[in-house]
Amino acid sequence: RDTRGCYMDKIEACQQAIAFGDSYELCLTTQITTSPHDGGDNTVCPLCAFIRLRQRNPTNYSAFMYLPTIGYVACGSPERFCKVAEGCVEMKPIKGTRPRGQDPAEDESLVADLATSPKDFAENLMVVDLVRNDLNTVCETGSVHCPKLMKVESYQNYHQLVSTVCGRLPIEEGYHASPVAALKALFPAGSMTGAPKVRACQILDSLESGPRGIYSGAIGYVAPLNGSADFAVVIRTIVFNGSTITTGCGGAIVAGSNTKDEWDEVLVKARPQLWSLTGHHVMLTTEVGVKTVIHPKVSCMTHLRLFETMLLKCGTIEFLDYHAQRFAA
């Protein structure tokens, strides 16, 4: 959606809003859009792209789904939005990213740089403060705490600065409060908006070129029987919507942000998704855009594995014949 120059102008607009006191952190994003076709008969297979994304970007929170109003969604998110288990709420906001190094020495240097960066420290701390405030609206008084503050987590393609914030839902009529009510109060993820949240969303809506769609939202589940839930922030995600493929990327802007560094962070975050679409590294320089290169001979079925669950009742597998037919198909 944005050229390099346009995105940098928006970074400066964010910093101007911060200087005026409208916000103190803004998560500015853009989207890279391409075609699922290469001009011939070849088309990107969403499932193949998801499997390559899992290979290139193995993370804790992955999802592949088809949503009628959106299309296919291939998500490889490293960030937990919100987990609820036995009345305990856990959020793990991410702010601060570095690429992996070319060798162990460079990798260690990048980890040290991330862990000691005043700018990343400020970004992360602001989001932690926002998350703490959000949790205090739904959790028992005095239960919100931060057991892990700014720990570096390393993934295949990048290092991330992660904090963990927890709280306990109140008891209502003998049961913990509904996780759905907690999700409503906590949404959207503070790491994808900025702070203060409402004003940040207003500023970003005026700056970004279009709606984010499912990007920066949340994917997960709610288990009504035991009141548990687990949701990831929709980042490092590819959306296949008919004639277009999009992936969102961005970063937090604070008063001390460097425009070039913020642009470079956008490219780092986009690389795994672009690789999963093309099968090779894609160079992005002045434009946010990419020509998709299709490799029709690369089959996703080579890496596909099927897990089947069966009900064992009194020593007998229920509907065994149907399971056998499914495997045969």
Q: Is 226 exposed, middle or buried (0-12, 13-18, 19+ CB in 10 A)?
A: exposed
3-state secondary structure of 327: helix
Is 140 known to be catalytic?
Answer: no
Q: What is the C-alpha separation between 238 and 318, in angstroms, rounded?
A: 37
DSSP state of 314: T
Please say whether the dihedral angle defined by the alpha carbons of residues 110, 155, 64 and 167, taken in this order, is positive or negative: negative
Q: What is the C-alpha separation between 216 and 269, in angstroms, rounded?
A: 13
94 closest CA partner among 167, 32, 8, 162: 162
The active-site residue, picked from 10, 83, 92, 95, is 95
The active-site residue, picked from 25, 79, 262, 265, is 79
Q: What is the C-alpha separation between 292 and 42, in angstroms, rounded?
A: 10
Is 86 known to be catalytic?
Answer: no
Structure tokens at 214: 């499912």
Distance of CA 211 to the CA centre of its chain: 16
Distances (CA, A) of 54 to 51, 59, 189, 196: 5, 7, 23, 34
72 closest CA partner among 18, 20, 36: 36
Structure tokens at 263: 């642009």
Q: Which residue type does 37 have?
A: H
Residues with active-site annotation: 79, 95
